[in-house]
Amino acid sequence: MKALTWHGKHDVRMDTHPDPGIVNPRDCVIKVTSTAICGSDLHLYDGYIPTMKSGDILGHEFMGEVVEVGAKSTLKVGQRVVVPFTISCGACYHCGKHQYSACDNGLPADNQDIAQTLYGHPMAGLFGYSHMTGGYAGGQAEYVRVPFSDIGPIVIPDGVDDDKVLFLSDILPTGWMAADNADIEPGDTVAVWGCGPVGLFAVQSAFLMGAERVIAIDHFPRRLELAKRFGAETINFEETAVYEALMEMTGGIGPDAVIDSVGLEAHGFFVDNIIDQIKVSTFLGTDRIHALRQAIIACRKGGRVSMPAVYGGFVDKFPLGAFMQKGLTLKTGQTHVQHYMPGLLNAILEDKIDTTFLISHHMPLDEAPTGYKMFHDHQDEYTKIVLKPGMN
């Protein structure tokens, strides 16, 4: 089969790999019908994520048709499914508490050593996202082996377009969990840093959870325009001083909850950001956290900080003083996708959440390397690329 394959920084290619098959009883194999490039794939593309190996297949937002099932899979050949990006067993203590991304058993035993050393504990496996997360082949491919297929993939009713449900795999539940983690109360003002896909879904989710106002912050006009469509007020940080604007817009109180959906590659030429960049490039630190700093400083006293953004290592100049003195609460984590999927599928089917607005481009899977370059270089225009195997 053909698959998008990582070879190094800014070097991804379409390579031929052996076809996947059933290995364990709970597996299934799917024929991919749609697979997206995620913002966090750009972290791999830019070489920020350790433990990548040349030849790894990328992709963790995908769906398709079941073509093969193991003896203990509950799926049937021919069913259409969306696959969660987290590989979770459904049987351990954490899965029992619906903390799926903290699954004990999603990672192969040998791969658990790295996460245990870095984070203190092994986490769930992830598709197509380095060997620290299991070394599982990803979904930007014609076929994928899906472990624990009896608890992960969600079956999609006939007649519902791929585009409507594809984002159940990652960014929709991630945006929803971001808002969920912000513990939104009716009447709240919520500020969202980063209007990428996760931020835009967080905007929609915050309103559905009762927020009165949502303020969206970015520097790409097209992304801010999308946020505005869902009722958000906007701040372009290249034109407006963010802290001052937030204080004026909230009568000096600050947002009740702040959501950082920017993550470890925050853009912009801020002094601390540039220092962070220097540290990253000289291996003194790994993550750049400008957005998170700004969010913590702006958040109202006693407010909530939600952090769906991906961080991998260590930071410095974390405003711990402001965080403590103001009595803030921080919630974060990789998304517990399996927990949110069924409710969000219903919300899509009932037209409560708009998902297709995000897609700017469809491309053949064969053109995935071009897709990465365009998504990387032209983020304002390319908000979301969906790759289609077999498309001409």
Partner 1 sequence: MADATLRSDDGPVAASKQDPAAEAKALFGDAHQQVTARSVTINKPVAEVYRFFRDFRNLPQFMENVVSITVADDRQSHWVVKAPGGKTVEWDAIVTDEAPDRHIAWESQPGADVPNSGRVEFRDAGQRGTVVTATITYDPPFGVVGKIIAKMFQREPAIQARRDLRRFKQLMETGEIATPAKNKQEFEEMGL
- Residues forming contacts to partner 1 in the complex (CB under 8 A) are 17-26, 72, 87, 89-93, 96, 104-113, 122, 125, 134-137, 145, 147-148
Question: What count of other Cβ atoms lies within 10 Å of the Cβ of residue 381?
Answer: 12
How does DSSP classify residue 387? E
- Position 192, amino acid: V
Q: Which is nearer to partner 1, 108 or 369 (CB)?
A: 108
Q: Which 8-state DSSP code applies to residue 357?
A: G
Give the shortest CB-48-to-partner 1 separation in angstroms. Answer: 21
Q: Are strands 304-307 and 329-332 parallel, antiparallel or unpaired?
A: parallel
* 167 DSSP assignment: G
Minimum CB distance to partner 1, residue 91 (Å): 4
Is 218 within 8 Å of 199 (Cβ atoms)?
yes
Question: Cα dist. 69→20, 134, 229 in Å?
Answer: 12, 21, 42
Specify the residue, 113 or 248, whose C-beta has the smaller distance to partner 1.
113
DSSP 351-388: TSS--GGG--EEEEGGGHHHHHHHHHH-TTT-S-EEEE
Residue placing its CB nearer to partner 1 in the complex, 151 or 359: 151
- Would you say 388 and 24 are in contact if contact means Cβ atoms under 8 Å apart? no
Q: In a 3-state reduction of DSSP, which class is residue 272?
A: helix
Which is nearest to 169 in space by CA: 185, 183, 153?
A: 153
- 337 DSSP assignment: H
104 alpha carbon, distance to own chain's centre: 21
Half-sphere exposure of 112 (CA within 13 A, CB side): 14
Alpha carbon 243 to its chain's center: 26
**Alpha-carbon 330 to chain mean position:** 18
Q: How far is the CB of 58 from partner 1 (least distance, A)?
A: 14
Of residues 92 and 330, the one with the C-beta less far from partner 1:
92
> With respect to partner 1, which residue has the nearer C-beta, 94 or 384?
94
Minimum CB separation of residue 341 from partner 1 in Å reads 20
Which one, 99 or 332, has the nearer CB to partner 1?
A: 99
Give me the least distance between CB of 113 and partner 1, in Å please.
8
Question: How near is the Cβ of 15 to partner 1 at its closest, in Å?
Answer: 13
Q: Give whichever of 71 and 271 is closer to partner 1, judged by the CB atom.
A: 71
Q: Which is nearer to partner 1, 137 or 166 (CB)?
A: 137
Least Å from the CB of residue 104 to partner 1:
7
Q: Are 191 and 215 in contact (CB under 8 A)?
A: yes
Min CB(62)–partner 1 separation in Å: 15
